[in-house]
């Protein structure tokens, strides 16, 4: 089953925006309410208010239904404004710098992106709202700056791992990989038993995909409970450490390249090409994240779940890497309009309270707030839930300043133009420079 090129481009755009959001960064602020206080959350909820919401054009149908349900339940209205998906973050930050703000903002959850909003001055601290306790550990890393929670994260989360062709691995007598050592050994077997199949398909033509294997997955086993991230943020570890997880991860990736594990057109192939190759058995494995890639696979082939499986992979075991999305992550700007700020707080309380269970049911995703069961999953999504249950770790780069430097550097590794240690040195320098800029 073949999709139109227009449909393919839409899904590729969704993948690119999500990756940029995970790995990157209306009125003037300074009103009567103090950004660090929650006085605006007290008092009656304003009724009959029209709130301006800046949202991503990639919002799912379930999120759009949530907006409509909020309006019906509260009597307040949402003036929904979208910006182009390929320039969403840039557009928001540019307008923000001029003092133009919405009442509610859907935006990236990472530290680098959050820093661009000057949260201590221009965002309302949501730390005392009821949803924060239900978010648990996620509240410590998603939309969190200096211990203050500025964002409500509804989900879905993006979960990174390896998609594999079930028939290709089975024919070669292989089990799904769990570690980078498995990737290397599976590559050796596949080159012998299935020489016409690319053991691992890379999509360097789209720019960002190589960073997944080069610098996102290997480190997951070291970042359980955020351990690796904290060691980097506190200076106990450096991205340039030759024996550290980052350089070892890039080294493992480069070893896969030099061993001939990638497709011959790895530098120019696209995400769309990788989906087609995986479905057609021309590739054994593809490293990607779940949401948009599964959508693409299912659109290409309605029976994709019969062909494709998904697992978490890291240095030491099947640890799944996850991170929150731009879509479904909401902030309340400090506009100085107390009436609108109170109504925006009510919006946050409603979507994380009365409206949340219905949203999870409509979206069919694993909830980010406690107290709800994950809706029954089928097909490849069931593999993702199983992988998450087997062990997961937050994507350390989400809260690393200068994370966007990894994309271009990964392309250089894929092209054989730089060494893993040089990548570590440059990433560490970019991180240190960003730290100084952010204070």
DSSP for 29-44, please give it.
Answer: S--SS-TT--GGGSSP
Between 3.40.1160.10, 3.40.190.10, 3.40.50.720, 3.40.50.300, what CATH number should domain 5-157+324-363 receive?
A: 3.40.190.10
pTM above 0.75, yes or no: yes
Contact 135, 307 (CB under 8 A): no
Lowest mean pLDDT: which of 23-27, 102-106, 359-363, 428-432? 23-27
pLDDT at 26 over 90: no
- Where do the CATH 3.40.190.10 domains begin and end in the chain? 5-157+324-363, 160-323+381-438
Mean per-residue pLDDT, 353-378: 90
Beta strands in 329-380 (DSSP E): 329-331
Mean per-residue pLDDT, 356-360: 95
Question: In the numeric block, which tokens belong to residue 361?
Answer: 């049911």
Output the CA angle 286-290-294, nearest 5 degrees. 80
Q: What is the rounded CA–CA span in Å between residue 116 and residue 293?
A: 29
Contact 362, 90 (CB under 8 A): no
pLDDT tens digits for 48-103?
999 999 998 888 889 999 999 999 999 999 999 999 877 898 899 999 999 999 99
Instruction: Give the pLDDT of residue 292.
Output: 76
Contact 89, 113 (CB under 8 A): yes
Split at pLDDT 50, 70, 90, the class of 439 is low
Contact 396, 228 (CB under 8 A): yes
pLDDT at 401 over 90: no
Instruction: Give the pLDDT of residue 12.
Output: 43
Question: In the numeric block, which tokens belong to residue 335?
Answer: 């506009």
The CA-based dihedral angle spanning residues 157, 216, 105, 355, taken in that order and rounded to the nearest 10 degrees: 10
Contact 369, 376 (CB under 8 A): no
Closest by CA position to 284, among listed 412, 185, 416:
185
Specify the 3-state DSSP secondary structure of 151: strand
Biggest alpha carbon–alpha carbon distance for the chain: 71
| Torsion 224-105-23-365 (CA) sign | positive
CATH for 160-323+381-438 is: 3.40.190.10
Contact 41, 129 (CB under 8 A): yes
Q: Which residue has the tokens 């070893």?
A: 255
């Amino acid at each position: 089953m073949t999709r139109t090129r227009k449909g393919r481009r839409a899904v590729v755009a969704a993948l690119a925006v999500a990756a940029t959001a995970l790995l990157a960064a209306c009125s003037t602020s300074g009103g009567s309410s103090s950004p660090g206080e929650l006085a605006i959350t007290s008092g009656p909820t304003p009724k009959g208010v029209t709130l301006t919401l800046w949202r991503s054009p990639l919002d799912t149908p379930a999120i759009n239904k949530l907006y409509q349900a909020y309006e019906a339940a509260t009597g307040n209205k949402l003036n929904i404004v979208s910006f182009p998906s390929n320039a969403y973050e840039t557009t928001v930050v540019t307008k923000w710098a001029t003092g133009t703000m919405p009442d509610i903002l859907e935006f990236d959850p990472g530290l680098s992106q959050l820093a661009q909003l000057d949260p201590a001055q221009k965002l309302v601290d949501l730390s005392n709202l009821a949803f924060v306790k239900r978010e648990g550990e996620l509240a410590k890393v998603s939309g969190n700056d200096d211990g203050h929670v500025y964002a409500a994260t509804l989900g879905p989360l993006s979960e990174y791992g390896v998609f594999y062709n079930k028939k290709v691995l089975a024919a070669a007598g292989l089990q799904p990989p769990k570690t980078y050592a498995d990737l290397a050994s599976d590559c050796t077997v596949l080159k012998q038993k299935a020489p016409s199949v690319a053991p691992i398909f890379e999509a360097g033509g789209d720019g960002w995909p190589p960073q997944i294997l080069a610098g996102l997955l290997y480190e997951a086993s070291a970042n359980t409970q955020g351990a690796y991230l904290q060691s980097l943020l506190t200076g106990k570890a450096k991205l340039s450490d030759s024996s550290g997880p980052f350089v070892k991860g890039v080294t493992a990736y480069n070893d896969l390249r030099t061993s001939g594990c990638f497709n011959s057109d790895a530098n120019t192939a696209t995400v769309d090409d990788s989906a087609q190759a995986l479905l057609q058995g021309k590739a054994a494995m593809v490293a990607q994240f779940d949401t948009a890639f599964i959508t693409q696979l299912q659109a290409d082939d309605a029976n994709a779940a019969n062909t494709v499986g998904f697992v978490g992979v890291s240095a030491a075991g099947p640890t799944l890497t996850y991170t929150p999305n731009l879509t479904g992550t909401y902030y309340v700007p400090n506009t100085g309009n107390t009436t609108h700020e109170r109504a925006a707080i009510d919006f946050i309380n409603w979507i994380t309270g009365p409206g949340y269970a219905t949203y999870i049911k409509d979206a069919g995703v694993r909830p980010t707030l406690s107290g709800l069961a994950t809706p029954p999953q089928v097909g490849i999504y069931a593999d993702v839930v199983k992988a998450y249950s087997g062990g997961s770790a937050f994507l350390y780069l989400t809260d690393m300043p200068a994370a966007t430097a990894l994309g271009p550097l990964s392309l250089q590794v894929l092209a054989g133009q730089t060494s893993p240690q040089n990548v570590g040195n440059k990433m560490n320098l970019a991180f240190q420079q960003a730290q100084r800029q952010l204070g």
